[in-house]
Chain A
Amino acid sequence: MRTVNLLFAIALACSLATAQTKISGSAACAGGGESHSIEVGDHPGHVYVVSKLNCTWTKPFEMAGLKSKDHEGATFREEDGDRVREDHFSGAGSMNNGDKYYVRALRTITAKTEKSGISQGTFIFSGGTGKLKGLKGKGTFKCTPEGDHGNCDIEGEYTLPSK
């Protein structure tokens, strides 16, 4: 009986330590006005691009009782004609009380990844401030172009250190 209790305690501790809270949300994202590109030089249209990205959460996700507000950061892309060969983002977001979360995102590249089409990929949370200190998590995103911006839906999960 004591062994069973011990196993139960271990299982409970493990489930608490690894409890993941699901999140989902939607954001409108646009270039932040600053963007630079350089032709690589092997053939026209093959460029390295660095740019600012700003997003506003139109359907906020919730973490630790807080609602996401906006986020901004920098992206790097390698474009080759209509194809995207690499695309990653790193930045920070703000919650409604001012606490921040840190996020990195990587676009999934396929043989036909097009720069003007739908982009999708994965993201990870890598810390935060205030109530989000020690934040960890991951998820997926999918962005659909609309006019001069993209509508992005995210789904994922997160954990915060137990107090």
Chain B
Amino acid sequence: MQRVSFTAFLMFAIPSIVLAQVKVSGGGICAKPDPAYSIQASDRPGHIFSLGQYACTWSKPFEIAGTKSKEGPDTISIEIQGNKGNWSEFYVDTTDTGDKGYYRFHGTATFKEGALQDVQGKWTLNGGTGKLKGIKGSGTCTGKGEADGGVSFECEGQYGPPK
């Protein structure tokens, strides 16, 4: 009986410890993209491929593996058709410890008269350097276009140790 219980403990407890997911939430603001480029797709009016890079800072950081997200470049591509856009980005965060985290985000955005209104989608953390090496995470983000051309964002999700 004792052997059965111990085996059962090993079977259920160890995987749950190894794969434990830690919840995170945070947010911040990204300044107006610079540089920013746009090219017309040439098929329909208002169909545009845009490329840009925001400089983002966290006012409420993610806390991951003993680091706090801080700031970094956020490179985006958006395919805009009318007032809607498909948003794709790669964000490199430099944490308070100097480690780097590599994030991807895919989502949708809405525009009004060319100005970003809101954006929402899913993020993934695909490792990084130092304490973030091999760390995986995922979750959701929402963003709101600001009058100065920047975007404020809030994100939540979870991360886990390297598998």
Contacts and interface: CB of A to CB of B under 8 A. Distances in A.
Interface of A: 34, 36-42, 46, 48-52, 72-76, 78, 86, 90-92, 100, 102-103
A41 B42 contact: no
Contact of B92 (A36, A42, A72, A100): A42
B39 A34 contact: yes
A42 B49 contact: no
Contacts of A102: 43-44
Interface in B38-55: 38-44, 47-53
Contacts of A39: 75
Given A42-B90, A73-B42, A90-B41, A48 B77 contact: yes
Interface of B: 35, 37-44, 47-53, 72-73, 75-77, 79, 88, 90, 92, 100, 102
Contact of B73 (A36, A40, A49, A74): A40
Contact of B90 (A48, A72, A90): A48
Contacts of A36: 35, 37, 39, 51
Contacts of B73: 40-41
Contacts of A37: 51
B127 to A, nearest CB: 10
B90 A74 contact: no
Nearest to A54: B42
A102 B49 CA distance: 15
B75 A41 contact: yes
Contacts of A49: 51
Q: Is the interface of A mostly helix, strand, loop or mixed?
A: strand
A42 B35 contact: no
A86 B88 CA distance: 11
Contacts of A73: 41-43
A41 B49 contact: no
B75 A48 contact: yes
Contacts of A46: 90
A90 B43 contact: yes
A4 to B, nearest CB: 46
B75 A90 contact: no
Contact of A75 (B43, B49, B52, B102): B49
5 contacts: A39-B75, A42-B102, A91-B42, A92-B43, A100-B43
9 shortest A-B CB distances, which residue pairs?
A: A92-B43, A36-B37, A74-B49, A50-B51, A41-B92, A74-B39, A102-B43, A41-B73, A90-B41
A90 B39 contact: no
Contact of A38 (B38, B42, B47, B75): B75
Nearest to A46: B90
Contacts of B52: 38
Nearest to B39: A74
